[in-house]
Structure 1
Amino acid sequence: MMTLERLRADHAHALLAFERENREYFARSIPDRGDLYFVEFAARHRALLAEQDAGACQFHVVMDDRGELVGRVNLVDVEEGAAELGYRIGERAAGRGMATAAVEEVCRLAATAYRLSALTAVTTLDNPASMAVLGRNGFTAVGDVRIGERPGRRYQRRLVAMR
């Protein structure tokens, strides 16, 4: 069981701990955020909240059934009814369907609460778990990309608001 919570100021401590705990795990399949990310985390967190308040992005944390932060799922570059989806689930929660459920829920929110009509996402080719999550959630591969130095794939999904 998981729940999504819209990012808030009081998530900062738990989110920083999550990112530190999973840094090496994430770096296996996506480019590392670098040391500066952690040094400037507080200012970055405030900036993300300001972006969210302006409607340019929608950030969420993924909470497990014990109320622990185990991931994040975000909609960035919200513009003209579309956004880019990004997500990461920590190592301790991986392989339990958490990413699939979190992406499913944010797609629902994107269509209903945020009134978006399309999402895109990218993942590296050496991350088959992420490609599977996107496939299970109705995303279709639409082209190849580079993510840092790694080859990747771009995905797209049309959204329909359910009444």
Structure 2
Amino acid sequence: MEITINLIKELDAQELFEFENENRGFFEKMIPSRGNDYYTWDTFIERHWVLLNEQERGLSHFYLIKDRTGNIAGRINLVDIDLITNEAEIGFRIGEAYVGKGIANRALNLLLYSESTIKKIHAKTTTVNFASQRVLEKNGFIQTKISDEDFEMNAQKMKFVHYLWEKRNFGLEK
């Protein structure tokens, strides 16, 4: 499926709010909840402004993944960007209607090739989120550790799985 990734803008707020609310139950099966407040308009729009401010300052890059008709298929974010070491953390989420179509893999690939200054990217997922693990590994992320501590989510015990991507993994370093 053809997709694009574009940095979020102020005018994306309503559509993004609807996307997050529509997919809340699906997301919360695999990742910890953002809390009930996140899904109210006032809290969401406040957080949206915070994200835009972070992005403007170069501390994070928040991308919307859109299908060829312009609908939001997911999000992919680089956060906690260290402007000195050129390292960041990545997170992504794909809407339920778009799962299994290679969108996360394609979006991550687009991001890795478009972010020219980032040299290392850290990622983590849960031990039960096999789809995210596969996407990370397909794109050159190396598993670095599994956390020692268990936590429970949806009546299931799990741990965090940590990954690292370095630009040289793709032969892109000069």
> Taking structure 1 as the reference length, what is the TM-score of the superposition?
0.93
Aligned positions of 1:4-153 closer than 5 A: 4-39=5-40, 40-79=43-82, 80-110=85-115, 112=116, 115-145=117-147, 149=152, 150-153=158-161
Give the number of equivalent residue pairs: 160
CA distance in 2, matches of 1:18, 1:94: 14
CA contact (8 A) 2:59 2:80 kept: yes
Gaps of 5+ in 1: none
Q: CA RMSD in A?
A: 1.5
Q: Percent identity?
A: 34
Segments of structure 2 that go 5 or more residues without pairing to the other structure are: 153-157
TM norm structure 2: 0.88
Contact 2:19 2:72 in 1 (8 A): yes
What's the CA shift string for 1:65-115, capped at 9, x where partnerless? 1110110000000002100010000000000000000011111122x2xx0
Q: Is the 8 A contact 2:66 2:73 kept in 1?
A: yes
Q: 1:147 to 1:25 in 2, by over 3 A?
A: farther
Cα 1:147–1:35 shift into 2, 3 Å: farther
Structure 1 window deviating more from structure 2 (137-146 vs 89-98): it is: 137-146
Encode CA deviations 1:23-68: one digit per residue, 9 max, x unaligned.
Answer: 0000111011111112200010001000000111011000001110
Is contact 2:13-2:48 (8 Å) kept?
yes
Measured after TM superposition, the shift of residue 139 of structure 1 is 0.3
The runs of 4+ residues in structure 1 deviating greater than 6 Å are none
